[in-house]
Structure 1
């Protein structure tokens, strides 16, 4: 039986008339078990492999290897399917050309699925929306599966459907399944694939070379199979008259959940967090209260973790008004760290976008600020990634110069890493 715990990091003290309360809520799950191995939850997994012409013969061969590695990690009893994606999404296994179904994993269906991938051919264009739509249709055949997860691999930009078509497919898949996305090589668009992963509560990352695909797919499915608790909801209660400014996941990845709010009751909103393994995640909750005078106290928010209608744990965010400036000006270390990390990610993404558009002054300014933030946080890994894109003259002031002839893979690696967070310490 999974157990959730929650703890709060915040400065609860506000000055006379202060209104805004910020807190980091750390949620930890233990005893999650394995996907699909409880009496009330089935699990389903779909592997989506890019088979467009740009993959080439070598890419297709490595794609087969990666999909095989993934299939070997899927637990027996799990519903599964394999989809090939080019300008259309095609169900390769089971029953190609037949009914859109899933089958349970066992030794015979695993071998049949591996054999079916011999049909992979590099051909056609790229229309990822059709892949998502096909996956949504296939997942709909197992409504009893409360945990649905897909891996999507692409090596190119989404050039064979309109942006509106992709947006529609993403919206129709949202809430139906989670999807971890991986881009192969340097021809795909990070922001495009990140949009899919973000909406579908997944991750996005770079696979620099085809030979690395199998290990990455193996790892992704292993993690998916370890998520034994599905459909966890973060609930935030705020008092009458208060406003929730935002709710963001800030570790292990940055993800703004604010727009995904659903109303639980008049004072409580719910935010989806997907499936959980034995892990810890951090959430930044910001609430605006009615101004109070010195000496007053108030519960600013009650943050709960819910499975269905059952609350598993909760944490309290408090507010106390005081005229002690030493208390009101103190910034909690966790709040400061994640606020800085969110700005760092934005500066990296905006800086790279400006560089690509030829706005060198803007790119230099934003990437310089990124260097400054990484230095302040003691984030040596991010500083090292930034050094591949800019020459750093002074990290403390963020004085940098754009490098000439930067490898696109280095820019993409920096971009995809921008939303990953670690609990670094100076």
Structure 2
């Protein structure tokens, strides 16, 4: 049917295994395209949007933070499609409705947009920060909305100082699967681990912005992406044969996200992993399966991987395993698998290195961050290499030789952390 989204999947793997080998790794690239996925058209999902703006006292230091946050919120409101239900929340140590004035949501139209922007313009910065309370109110608003795509933006400039990590986790657990949330930090006092936790649990993205003037463009991009979603509640379905074990399922592009623990059992041999809503985009997944070894010359279907929505199969590909005594075949390295294995290791090395640095463990921090520099250099991840150069002095990038910088601004470390999960693609070449 014309205008309907079209999903296409490709599999990259080395299907040849040496005798006795159990592990099969495959990279599944899924691309969604079609007229119905080009944002705002007839194929777009019904949508609801909640914008959570930090209005704690620190947003006044400098005052450009609250001013640009208000400007960004106005831009976001103008970017909403007509008819989209929306609300704005002011967040401090408490959560307060900005628009509408009482808990609820309004349909976007010229009048409600003007009213909302007027209400936002009157915001003042005062008080503390309790992100979980903002999310709790957003969850309450979404609970009364039948929209197919429910999306939120959370902006903060500080640490989540007015509630415990347990409080935040409890709220995130209650929100999981209810809506998608993109989290952003602005200024130099936000915490990357907190932003990544919100985004990871709620299938969104996390990032930091050093300059408040970047906020309007960032908000517009997030809303445009949300408005372009055309297929909701999409899952990656993995079938494996009797005796097989799924070792892990990870999204590896555009960012690393381990989905393994989110498996929903469909049957003894089928599990589903949530991927959220889709627009016109492409994502890569790394699926690793452990099999019972077969005799040399035998072939086995290692996995059947499908993308499904509302129990309809959108696309499907097979992962094969063939046992061989041909060493040339079995030792061939698949570039896609090797690349993304390195990208996942890169994210882990950065996070572990920064954690060791904060704990005063210079030896571990130097080793981990040195390995991160080496991996970033090998994979051509120039953006990450530049960020790492803000926290270490690079002596020899190809060998991962670095020295920790004696003085590092907090925002440099947090930016390196929050962007650690972003990945780059390797150019495909013919084997």
Return the TM-score normalized by structure 2.
Answer: 0.95
- Would you say 1:4 and 2:12 are equivalent positions? no
Asked if 1 retains the 8 angstrom alpha-carbon contact of 2:307 and 2:313, the reply is: yes
* SS of residue in 1 equivalent to 2:249: strand
1:341-420 alignment runs, 5 A limit: 341-420=343-422
Contact 2:25 2:286 in 1 (8 A): yes
Q: Partners of 1:138 and 1:37 in 2: how far apart?
A: 26
- By how many angstroms is 1:417 displaced? 2.0
CA contact (8 A) 2:37 2:279 kept: yes
1:108 alignment partner in structure 2: 111
Deviation, 1:416, is 2.0
Counterpart of 2:50 in structure 1 is 46
Give the 3-state SS of the residue equivalent to 2:66 in structure 1: helix
Q: Which residue of 1 aligns with 2:85?
A: 79
Matched, 1:65 2:76: no
Match of 1:254 among 238, 253, 256: 256
CA contact (8 A) 1:13 1:319 kept: yes
Q: Is the 8 A contact 1:35 1:42 kept in 2?
A: no
The alpha carbon displacement at 1:382 in A equals: 2.3
Q: Offset at 1:39?
A: 7.9
- Measured after TM superposition, the shift of residue 40 of structure 1 is 9.4
Deviates more, 1:167-176 or 1:405-414: 405-414
CA contact (8 A) 2:189 2:411 kept: no
- Cα deviation, 1:223-260, whole Å, max 9, x if unaligned, reads 11112221111100111111001000000011001111
Greater CA drift, 103-112 or 352-361? 352-361
Select between 254-263 and 208-217 the one with higher mean Cα deviation.
208-217
Whole-angstrom CA distance in 2 between matches of 1:353 and 1:392: 19
State the SS of the aligned residue for 1:145: coil
Partner of 1:316: 318
Q: How far apart, in 2, do the equivalents of 1:176 and 1:91 lie?
A: 20
Paired residue secondary structure (2:341): helix
Are 2:44 and 2:230, in contact at CA under 8 Å, matched by a contact in 1? no
Q: Which of 97, 121, 138 lines up with 2:124 in the alignment?
A: 121
SS at match of 1:187: coil
* Separation (CA, whole Å) in 2 of partners of 1:51 and 1:346: 33
Query: Within the alignment, does 1:333 sit opposite 2:335 as a pair?
Result: yes
Q: CA RMSD in A?
A: 1.6
Q: 1:150 to 1:40 in 2, by over 3 A?
A: closer
* 8 A Cα contact 1:157 1:187, kept in partner: yes
1:163 and 2:165 are equivalent in the alignment: yes
Q: Which moved more, 1:218-227 or 1:313-322?
A: 218-227
Displacement, 1:37?
5.7
Partner of 1:306: 308
In 1, Cα distance between equivalents of 2:195 and 2:382? 26
Match of 1:23 among 9, 22, 26: 26
Give the secondary-structure state (helix, strand or coil) at the position aligned to 1:27. Answer: strand
Gaps of 5+ in 2: none
**CA deviation digits over 1:80-133, x for unaligned, max 9?**
111111111112111x2x3x2111111111001101113412111111000111
User: Residue 151 of structure 2 contacts residue 226 of structure 2 at CA under 8 Å; is this kept in 1?
Assistant: yes
Q: Which residue of structure 1 aligns with residue 139 of structure 2?
A: 136
Q: Residue 291 of structure 1 corresponds to which residue in structure 2?
A: 293
Once residues 187 and 115 of structure 2 are traced to their aligned partners in structure 1, the CA distance between those partners, rounded to angstroms, is 29
Do the aligned residues in 2 keep the contact of 1:37 with 1:228 (CA within 8 Å)? no
User: Please, which of 69, 89, 94 is the counterpart of residue 88 of structure 1?
Assistant: 94
Conservation of the 8 A alpha-carbon contact between 1:34 and 1:225: no
Aligned pair count reads: 422
Q: Select which of 145, 148, 152 maps to 1:146.
A: 148
Partner of 1:275: 277
Runs of at least 4 residues of structure 1 off by over 3 A? 34-41
